[in-house]
Amino acid sequence: MVKPLNKAAERLRWGFPSSIQTIEFESKPVLDDITIIIPTIGRDILEQSLFRILSGSAWPGCLIVVEQGSNPNVARMLKRVQEVGIRVRHILSRQRGRSAGINRGLEQTPTRFVAITDDDCFVEECWLSNMATKLHQHPQAVITGRVEAAGAEMVIVVTSLTPSIQNRPRLKFDSMSGGNMGAALDIFRKIGLFEEDPVMATAEDAEWSYRALRNGITLRYEPDIVVAHYGWRDVEKRIEQYRDYARSHGGFYGKYLRKGDLFILIRALSHLLRALRRWINGWLKGDLDYASIGRAYCLNLPSGMLAGMRSKMQSGKLDHGEEK
């Protein structure tokens, strides 16, 4: 039985809190050696993500928000965050894609460690302090944690309460959630940035974690590091999201197949078989979301793999200079 996040997360069922412009926040301890990065296209839901960070038990040394849009409310939100007492960097980018947003943030990170989340992820109260503790204990590892569901229906969640350590790629999947992860900046200098290739637009975290494991980096899953992923898409939008996931995973697999990675070939075939089983089981049980995600992968993973095999775009590197 998975325990609820906390009272604040439970209240997500009943609506959002008031605007951060009207709330007084008590000052919190500042963790000077960790930066939070949030990529966004400027959706208003960002304010709720910022509310959770401001309500946390500790604040980051720096908050970097990379905006790939033109919503004037974002600047107002971040001005308020800065007034509360958090150092803010607001990066405006004409690029599109989550990986590009994170990468532009990583290039401007002024601290030893970085924690990454999304504008539709709401961090639990002790998220940053727990993340910082694990990063200090294991600076050579990538830290990830639980992803609970909030809001509308969410199929893809990570709710295990058992810590785990992964040292090599798995046949099924690698245990890293891109919206709930942290690492030392030195790891990005060693592994490289997230892949910005459009053929794998929503599989950048899966590819990066695979690349990290292949380079000897450990992934540590810590269940006390928790975010709630807010489901805001209706059924039709979720089905399109599943298609995007499938094509992007296919792009990831195809790029490694072009390099002759036989392990990825086995993983891709295993993924297709699991998707077929999910499609059939979901259809038999009348579970639309479960069947839809299986169907999406069966129909779109192969075409994504072909696109990936044709692509020659490479991941970028992070400057080896000192933290700013």
- Tell me the pLDDT tens digit for each residue of 72-111: 999 999 999 999 999 999 999 999 999 999 999 999 999 9
Quickly state the pLDDT bin for 149 (edges 50, 70, 90).
confident
Quickly state the pLDDT bin for 322 (edges 50, 70, 90).
low
Quickly state the pLDDT bin for 233 (edges 50, 70, 90).
low
pLDDT of residue 10: 44
pLDDT of residue 122: 92
Q: What value, to the nearest 5°, has the Cα angle with vertex 223 and ends 217 and 227?
A: 100
3-state secondary structure at position 32: strand
Q: In angstroms, how far is CA 44 from the centroid of its own chain?
A: 18
Write the CA distances from 222 to 29, 104, 147, 158, 227, integer angstroms: 22, 27, 11, 11, 12
DSSP for 229-261? EEE---HHHHHHHHHHHHHHHHHHHHHHHHTT-
Contacts (Cβ under 8 Å, ≥6 apart) of 217: 140, 141, 142, 187, 190, 191
Mean pLDDT for 149-167 is 80
254: pLDDT strictly greater than 90: yes
Interstrand relation of 30-40 and 113-116 (parallel, antiparallel or unpaired): parallel
